[in-house]
């Protein structure tokens, strides 16, 4: 049974090895991030309007559409209950949605990034609403994230997973609390499948790693244990140099490496490259003061690098307790570092329902990846 309100949360990701190889069907190793997440609030409306709030993308006001303008007649492939292979990306629908988004707003200018994010939402909404038996006729949505957006840490995948989960819940395709393992498995597969469609809107031809990591996540697994026990700095350096040789490096990422190397720490670029984020691995034996000093040096460099200290293995997608009283205004205006608190994500496990399955996945997209 569908409720009137959901708060969803999904993690960002870091790719440790193989970010470009995975696009060509080779193996990558990736992990979900702890505490760097996207949060989405879904509220039912019955007035036939969709309201989308994306303040992190700089949208000053909500975007509003009547649900009646959506091209449901172009939906031809809603195979939500079938196997993933049956779900094809619908180009005709996507182009129509894009034109609705770019024509539609008389009260504010919407830039390209905002248009793509809005199209992603409308694409999933139109596909999933078609054929659904639900009392939701319209909804208000607000998405917030404490991830850097467009920097290689999977903000788009966590956005996609939040949208897919909220819509699948609202339209009754899945239902919390995912009580038994079978429900767990089915719901997470469906979320991942639809998040992948969203990633296609955002990325074109994604490998599917990012949305899988944001869906499945994993139990906490600290970078310290990981780097100590299995891999040494040489691997990390080699990964970085190989990516540089592909031409996806950036001088500022080399600068991060240079500063961290002064403290005997190893760094590589992560994600697509060409800018974005580098990841520095911190061994168990590195004292806290040393970490603070590296961060200070990175901040103080002419590039003013921003540092996020985290571990690998955050929870996968979760549906948070709907009794939490956070309202739209509070959610919209919250500082990024307060999102976990105001949504209740910081409360104990018994208050949240989380989907987590950890395994080596031979993906439906053709690539193999290990989720840490
Ligand atoms: N909090 C958010 N609010 C609205 N849209 C978001 C949000 N986070 C991500 N997005 C969408 O995802 C896009 C960023 O995707 P992009 O692939 O460029 O970066 P990334 O996912 O952070 O990096 P990578 O894919 O390399 O890991 C944004 O332009 C927007 O469309
Ligand atoms: C660079 C790439 O690994 C995305 C990183 O976010 C490509 C992909 O997996 O689609």
Considering the domain architecture, whether residues 164 and 73 belong to the same structural domain is answered as yes
The pLDDT assigned to 36 comes to: 93
> Averaged in consecutive runs of 10 residues, what is the pLDDT profile of the chain (372 residues)?
84 90 85 92 94 96 94 77 66 95 79 96 94 86 96 96 95 75 79 95 91 81 44 82 93 93 92 88 87 93 89 86 79 94 67 37 47 54
State whether the beta carbon of 15 lies less than 6 angstroms from ligand 2. Answer: yes
175 assigned to active site: no
DSSP 263-312: TT-EEEE-TT-SSS-EEEE--TTS-HHHHHHHHHHHHHSTT--------B
pLDDT (0 to 100) of residue 294? 92
370 in any annotated domain: no
199 Cα: distance to centroid of ligand 1 (angstroms)? 10
Can 156 be counted among the known catalytic residues?
Answer: yes
The answer on 135 and 51 residing in a single domain is yes
Q: Rounded to an integer, what distance in angstroms lies between the CA atom of residue 94 and that of residue 168?
A: 19
Pair 129, 198 in one domain: yes
Residue 17 lies in a domain: yes
Whether residues 355 and 269 fall in one domain: no
Does 21 fall in a domain?
A: yes
Considering the domain architecture, whether residues 215 and 232 belong to the same structural domain is answered as no
Looking at the CA of residue 152, tell me the nearest atom of ligand 2.
6
Strands 27-44 and 368-371 come out as parallel
Quote the tokens at residue 360. Answer: 């080596």
- Indicate whether 371 belongs to any domain: no
Pair (290, 323) in one structural domain? no
Please indicate, yes or no, if residue 305 is contained in any of the structural domains: no
Is residue 156 domain-shared with residue 92, that is, in the same domain? yes
Catalytic residue among 2, 9, 188, 210: 210
pLDDT for 320 equals: 82
CB 343 within 8 A of CB 326: yes
Residue 372 lies in a domain: no
Same-domain status, 65 and 152: yes
How far away, in angstroms, is 339 Cα from ligand 1 center?
18
Q: How many domains does the chain divide into?
A: 2
Listed residues 300, 325, 352: the one ending a domain: 300
- C-alpha torsion angle, residues 279, 283, 284, 290 (rounded to 10): -80
Q: For residue 300, what pLDDT is reported?
A: 94
Ligand 2 pocket residue status of 210, Cβ below 6 Å: yes
Does 266 share its domain with 211?
Answer: no
ipTM: 0.98
Q: How many CA atoms lie within 13 A of 211 on its CB side?
A: 31
> Ligand 1 pocket, 54 CB below 6 A?
yes
Question: Where in the sequence is the domain holding 264, given as residue range(s)?
Answer: 224-300
Among residues 279, 300, 321, the one where a domain terminates is: 300
What CATH number is attached to the domain comprising 40? 3.30.230.10
Please check whether residue 206 lies inside any domain of the structure: yes
Q: Are residues 146 and 49 in the same domain?
A: yes
Q: Does some domain include residue 265?
A: yes
Do 139 and 254 belong together in one domain? no
Does 261 sit in the ligand 1 pocket, CB within 6 Å? no
Verify whether ligand 2 is closer than 6 Å to residue 276 (CB atom). Answer: no
284 plus 351 within the same structural domain: no
Atom of ligand 2 nearest to the CA of 19: 3
């Amino acid at each position: 049974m569908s409720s009137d309100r959901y708060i969803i949360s999904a993690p960002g990701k870091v790719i440790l090895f193989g970010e470009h190889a995975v696009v060509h069907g080779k193996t990558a190793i990736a992990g979900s991030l702890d505490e760097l997440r996207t949060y989405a609030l879904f509220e039912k409306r019955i007035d036939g309007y969709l309201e989308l709030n994306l303040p992190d993308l700089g949208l000053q006001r909500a975007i509003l559409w009547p649900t009646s303008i959506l091209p449901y007649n172009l939906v031809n492939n809603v195979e939500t209950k079938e196997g993933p292979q049956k779900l094809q990306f619908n180009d005709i629908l996507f182009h129509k949605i894009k034109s609705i988004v770019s024509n539609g707003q008389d009260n504010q200018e919407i830039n390209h990034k905002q248009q793509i994010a809005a199209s992603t939402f409308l694409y999933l909404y139109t596909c999933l609403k078609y054929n659904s038996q639900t009392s939701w006729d319209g909804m208000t949505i607000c998405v917030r994230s404490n991830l850097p957006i467009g920097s290689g840490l999977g903000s788009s995948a966590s956005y996609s997973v939040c949208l897919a989960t909220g819509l699948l819940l609202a339209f009754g395709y899945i239902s919390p609390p995912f009580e038994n393992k079978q429900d767990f498995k089915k719901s997470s597969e469906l979320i991942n499948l639809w998040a992948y469609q969203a990633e296609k809107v955002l990325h074109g031809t994604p490998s599917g790693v990012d949305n899988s990591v944001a869906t499945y996540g994993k139990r906490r697994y600290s970078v310290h244990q990981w780097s100590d026990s299995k891999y040494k700095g040489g691997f990390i350096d080699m990964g970085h140099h190989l990516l540089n040789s592909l031409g996806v490096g950036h001088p500022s990422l080399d600068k991060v490496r240079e500063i961290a190397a002064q403290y005997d720490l190893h760094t590589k670029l992560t994600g697509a490259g060409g800018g974005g984020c580098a990841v520095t691995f911190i061994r168990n034996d590195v004292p806290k003061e040393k970490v603070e000093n590296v961060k200070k040096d990175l901040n103080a460099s002419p590039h003013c690098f921003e540092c996020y200290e985290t571990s690998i293995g955050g929870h996968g997608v979760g549906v948070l307790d709907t009794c939490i009283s956070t309202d739209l205004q509070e959610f919209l205006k919250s500082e990024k570092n307060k999102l976990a608190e105001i949504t209740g994500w910081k409360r104990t496990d018994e208050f949240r329902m989380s989907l987590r399955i950890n395994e080596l996945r031979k993906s439906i997209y053709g690539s193999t990846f290990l989720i840490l």
